[in-house]
Chains A and B, each alone.
Chain A
Amino acid sequence: MADATMSNVLKKSGKEIYANWSRDLAATAANSKGRMPAAELEQQSAEFIKLLTAASEHASSSDISAPEFKPLREFLEGVSRSRVAQGFSSDETASFIFSLKKPFFAALRADAGKDADALADQVWRATELLDALGLHTIKTYQKSREDVINRQQREMLELSTPVVKLWDGILALPMIGTLDSARTQVVMENLLQKVVETGAQIAILDITGEPTVDTLVAQHLLKTVTALRLMGAECIISGVRPQIAQTIVHLGVDLQGVTTKANLADALALALKRTGSTSLKA
């Protein structure tokens, strides 16, 4: 059986493959700016060969989703996660696996001797297996990267929505970055909750840090204003830049009934006047 040859080769000349492979890896690792200690790399490659030998011994096919390959898959997932953390690029990560081909094929060749058919067959099987393992590593690498991005997005969401108290009964919310539905939801909930906690009468939404305002963003802003009004608080939108004012008018967004000001200072002055006058009257 063909796979038996492969595992036999691995068992027989595993040491040699490992030696050649580590030499190749060490040569490439010299370019990797010392992000990873040589000992760790050696340990990883030794472990990989050990697991590959074990897996190919028991496996009946080169399908890496088979249970025999589970420890190998898990090991590769661990490797690619640590590569992400160490700042390796995806091709550097993948070439860790692919660089095994050269010494492995050499060993297969030595084993097959003059039998060209058998050698071609072996090489094909080995390529198939190593490619699958390499792709699996890339897949995990990408997933780990996406996890990092998702986490950062979540953190940004929390960072960018601080509600500050400007004056007695006046809250301000400086909005930074593009407003999408998810962010608006967080902004709205934060602001409304703070209004309840502090009993504020006026909330100022400052959109100076808002790069663009399209119809969707405008709609989100209007929703926030309406929700505030329903709760019995007033809302002033400040920091409307000239370009944004033009965009809003060109888009035909109806901001009737919403007080807008060019900057936060004007908005605060208006808010002070409004709260001041109400408290005088009451």
Chain B
Amino acid sequence: MEKIPILRMGEFLLVTIQIDMHDQLALKLQDDLSNAIQKNASKGVLIDISSLEMVDSFIGRMVADITGIGKILGAETILVGMQPAVAITLVELGLSLPGVATALNVERGMALLRRKIDADGADVGSH
């Protein structure tokens, strides 16, 4: 069965969605990712959807859910590389994904993630 790989990069996880998502795959990814965050005690998750060219309302919601789950498990989650067509579709579907951090590409996303973790770390240190 096909599977979306979850790559570990130090304290971060990198998920690159390179095939068209179908519902089953999205559910499985949600499962796998939450387990992986738990197992690796990851501090940040980067979801790269630059190859995703089509979304429907279900996949849109799954993406929002996955980022939400990441947050609850204590990992900053950033959605990177959304294509214009996908962004327009999501907006037209009324899925504005409030509270989801986004970045233009993986590089920017990584920088943003690093900054967020550093800011959190500084907060903890100052207390």
Contacts and interface: CB of A to CB of B under 8 A. Distances in A.
B91 A232 contact: no
Nearest to A193: B84
A205 B86 CA distance: 21
B78 to A, nearest CB: 8
Nearest to A185: B88
Interface string A223-258: 100111111110000000000000000000000000
Given A281-B115, A282-B115, A229 B102 contact: yes
B96 A231 contact: no
B108 A230 contact: no
B103 interface: yes
Interface stretch (A18-26, A194-202, A262-270): A194-202
Interface in B90-113: 90-92, 96-97, 100, 102-105, 108-109, 111
B17 interface: no
A189 interface: yes
Interface residues of A, number: 21
A84 interface: no
A233 B96 contact: no
Contacts of B96: 226, 229-230
Contacts of A107: none
B87 interface: yes
B87 A231 contact: yes
Contacts, number: 61
Contacts of A59: none
A188 B90 CA distance: 13
B83 interface: yes
A233 B104 contact: yes
Contacts of B109: 232
A192 to B, nearest CB: 3
B84 A189 contact: yes
Contact of A230 (B87, B105, B114): B87
Given A230-B97, A282-B111, A199 B84 contact: no
Interface string A192-226: 11011001110000000000000000000001001
Nearest to B118: A281
A227 B96 CA distance: 8
Interface string A159-195: 0000000000000000000000000010011001101
B95 to A, nearest CB: 9
A107 to B, nearest CB: 65
Interface of A: 185, 188-189, 192-193, 195-196, 199-201, 223, 226-233, 281-282
14 contacts: A185-B88, A189-B88, A192-B87, A196-B104, A199-B105, A200-B104, A227-B88, A227-B90, A230-B90, A231-B104, A232-B102, A232-B104, A232-B108, A282-B114
